[in-house]
Amino acid sequence: MPGASNKNDYVVGVDFGATKIYAGLFTATLNLVGASKMTTKPVRGSASVMDRIARCISDVVDECDLTMDKVRAVGIGAPGAVDPEAGRVILAPNLGWQDVPLQKELEKRLDLPVAIENDANAALIGVYEEEFGGKPRHVLGIFMGTGIGGALIINGELYSGFNHSAGEIGHMTIDIDGPKCGCGKLGCFEALASRTAIFQKIKAAVADGQKTLLTEMLGEKLENLRSGDLRKAIQKGDKFVAKCVEDAAEYAGIAVASLVNLLNPEVVALGGGLIEALSDVMMPRLTKVATARALAGTIEGIQIKDSMLGDKAGIFGAAVLARRRTK
Amino acid sequence: MPGASNKNDYVVGVDFGATKIYAGLFTATLNLVGASKMTTKPVRGSASVMDRIARCISDVVDECDLTMDKVRAVGIGAPGAVDPEAGRVILAPNLGWQDVPLQKELEKRLDLPVAIENDANAALIGVYEEEFGGKPRHVLGIFMGTGIGGALIINGELYSGFNHSAGEIGHMTIDIDGPKCGCGKLGCFEALASRTAIFQKIKAAVADGQKTLLTEMLGEKLENLRSGDLRKAIQKGDKFVAKCVEDAAEYAGIAVASLVNLLNPEVVALGGGLIEALSDVMMPRLTKVATARALAGTIEGIQIKDSMLGDKAGIFGAAVLARRRTK
């Protein structure tokens, strides 16, 4: 019957990190029907986190007035080093996980086929399939949010390297005398241009007496500061905040130039919460700096684009993985 | 007849740069029979340079008491962006070349099949096939000499990117406030750790009154300073020269850490004239810094090795390309 839907026509894509679990229900043709969010609470341990992932999945299915027997498969983007073939999270420091059989445990909880992948890899697959139609041969994905993650598509396929951990661009040294990174080294890309880095810079300056509209909006301690607040302050003419965000964009441009020189991809795709909230401030600067700094012949014809999927890239990519899992 | 050699059993591999042309004659099983060198003289123009390459090839054949009809094919590693399928050097700033049909022109001059490739790519192919037996899936090659070049093997195949210019690791920004690079930017890997960078640092310090054994060896102006002189000075206990070389090794370690985080290769192969002359000083420091700085899960099991082929990597790789060309 053309147009009629089969019993198991849906897939669920899950993007989970140390802070939140985000699950989206998709049709077989990758239309997003509905989504659900839940906190991760990693301190409760891996079994509890996996229970919560399963609950977030059943929540979104229920929210869309469906039942689990309509779901064909589940895809999951998880933080850290992930071995998709073995179905295991090898190492995820943010979660405190080491060698967790995420795929098997969730298949047990859900009674459904589950595919897992690193979160940045899943996000790039989402951007690649949904936005780029799977066309460019080589794509570099850069995801800027709390941290900075990256992923690579080479010859049309995800490249994950020898230890399933390729794409860790956040810890590329850009300024050997720069601020200290969470990894312990100085001047990593992430320590200069992530949301965390921008927030720290703003808070330190405010503590030193810097005036900004942000304190009028949020109080002196800048509690609950979010990317959207930076956007609002810039729109109201706050030059200090604009400078902080532009500096981050400049560092990102420097990183993109180094990466284009090295990898010479066809497309550089920027995504993540920071880019989603501030793309109109960051992208022109980032693109200008990257283009000026990359070697002339190398940058030619290469597209530098911000993703339209925003923070939905991860659930889209996880849904693509779920769909592949059932083929 | 088993054991008898065919008429066309040899290939020639050529490594040519802005300074010199280096040609090696190899048996079909890649044994190096003899080699010949000639200056490039790029100021005379591309036609003259290609005449010189052809002459260097006939020189080595003659030197080995053979004639050109014994040669089956020629491979050439050339500087800059090279399109092997089109057989053209797209852009080679050091030579002043733009869109030169190197393959066709040499086939005309030699009446033999010719294969061309970027010089760093050719060198990595040499290391990969001759030293590593073509086994590792993903290899990063770093060649440190006058400049710093790089090349990538991914899934067992050379990766050259969208514009045939992948692997330009020399212009990765490491220290945003560092010394000025030939490319015009500050703090590129090449501006911190190439032979040129080390020599400049030493010469500037000597001009400022720094004492070193090098001036006793070569005079106050340090004319004709070579990597081997650094080695000799260090062996005689020159702590200043040792520090300059160790600093370069430290920068190289920082670059390797960033590259391992990003690419997660199975092997990182170091080569080029600087490493060949100073591997015992540079490799321990480089490896220590890279291992300490790379993300823990990412560096695990990854080998960081200096190539035994030294400056012969390029001619070996070019010979491999010549052999492939005839298959």
Contacts of B81 in chain A (CB under 8 A): 297-298
pTM for this predicted structure: 0.93
Predicted confidence (pLDDT) at residue B325 exceeds the cutoff of 90: no
Count helices and strands (H / E) in chain B.
Answer: 11, 13
CB pairs A-B closer than 8 Å:
143
pLDDT recorded at residue A3: 42
pLDDT recorded at residue A8: 63
Sequential pLDDT tens for chain A (327 residues): 344 455 568 999 999 998 899 999 999 899 999 999 999 999 999 999 999 999 999 999 999 999 999 999 999 999 988 999 999 999 888 899 999 999 999 999 999 999 999 999 999 999 999 999 999 999 999 999 989 999 999 999 999 999 999 999 999 999 999 999 988 899 999 999 999 999 999 999 999 999 999 999 999 899 889 999 999 999 999 999 999 999 999 999 999 999 999 999 999 999 999 999 999 999 999 999 999 999 888 888 999 999 999 889 999 999 999 999 887
Only one residue has tokens 């040519």, namely B16
For chain B, the structural domain boundaries read: 10-127+313-325, 135-309
Q: Inter-axis angle of helices A227-235 and A239-263, to 10 degrees?
A: 120
Could you give the residue ranges of the DSSP H alpha helices within chain B?
Answer: 46-63, 102-110, 119-126, 189-193, 195-207, 213-218, 227-235, 239-263, 273-293, 296-299, 313-325
Contacts of B166 in chain A (CB under 8 A): 262-264
- Out of B177, B296, B302, the one facing A162 most closely (by C-beta) is B302
Four-CA torsion B179, B180, B183, B185, nearest 10 degrees: 90
- Out of A91, A174, A263, the one facing B176 most closely (by C-beta) is A174
pLDDT tens digits, B255-279:
999 999 999 999 999 999 999 999 9
* Closest among B11, B4, B64 to B33, alpha carbons compared: B64
- Domain A10-127+313-325 sits in CATH at 3.30.420.40
Annotation: CATH topology of A135-309: Nucleotidyltransferase; domain 5 (3.30.420)
Contacts of A171 in chain B (CB under 8 A): 257-258, 261, 295
* Closest among B188, B287, B295 to A174, alpha carbons compared: B188
Beta-bridge mates of residue B21: B16, B38
pLDDT recorded at residue B2: 43
Pairing between strand A20-27 and A10-16? antiparallel
User: Residue B8: pLDDT band by 50, 70, 90 thresholds?
Assistant: low
pLDDT recorded at residue A1: 39
Sign of CA dihedral B189, B190, B191, B193: positive
3 state DSSP class of B12 = strand
- Out of A166, A174, A258, the one facing B264 most closely (by C-beta) is A166
Contacts of residue A264, Cβ cutoff 8 Å, sequence gap at least 6 = A138, A298, A302, B160, B161, B162, B163, B164, B165, B166, B167, B168
pLDDT recorded at residue A325: 87
Contacts of A163 in chain B (CB under 8 A): 264, 297-298, 300-302
How open is the CA angle A37-A271-A22, to the nearest 5 degrees? Answer: 10
**Cβ within 8 Å, pair B295-A257:** no
With beta carbons less than 8 A apart as the criterion, state whether B123 and B151 touch: yes
The chain A residue lying nearest B254, using CA atoms, is A173
**Cβ within 8 Å, pair B172-A261:** yes
| CATH topology match: B10-127+313-325 vs B135-309 | yes
State how far the Cα of A149 lies from the Cα of A306, in Å rounded to an integer: 15
User: Average per-residue pLDDT in chain B?
Assistant: 94
Query: Could you tell me the CA-to-CA distances from B30 to A195, B9, B78, B316 in Å, in that order?
Result: 54, 10, 20, 8
pLDDT tens digits, B109-163:
999 999 999 999 999 999 999 999 999 999 999 999 989 999 999 999 999 999 9
Could you give the residue ranges of the DSSP H alpha helices within chain A?
Answer: 46-63, 102-110, 119-126, 189-193, 195-207, 213-218, 227-235, 239-263, 273-293, 296-299, 313-325
Predicted confidence (pLDDT) at residue B237 exceeds the cutoff of 60: yes
Query: Could you tell me the CA-to-CA distances from B211 to B197, B215, B233 in Å, in that order?
Result: 19, 8, 12
- The pair of three-digit structure tokens given for residue A250, joined into one six-digit string: 């400049």
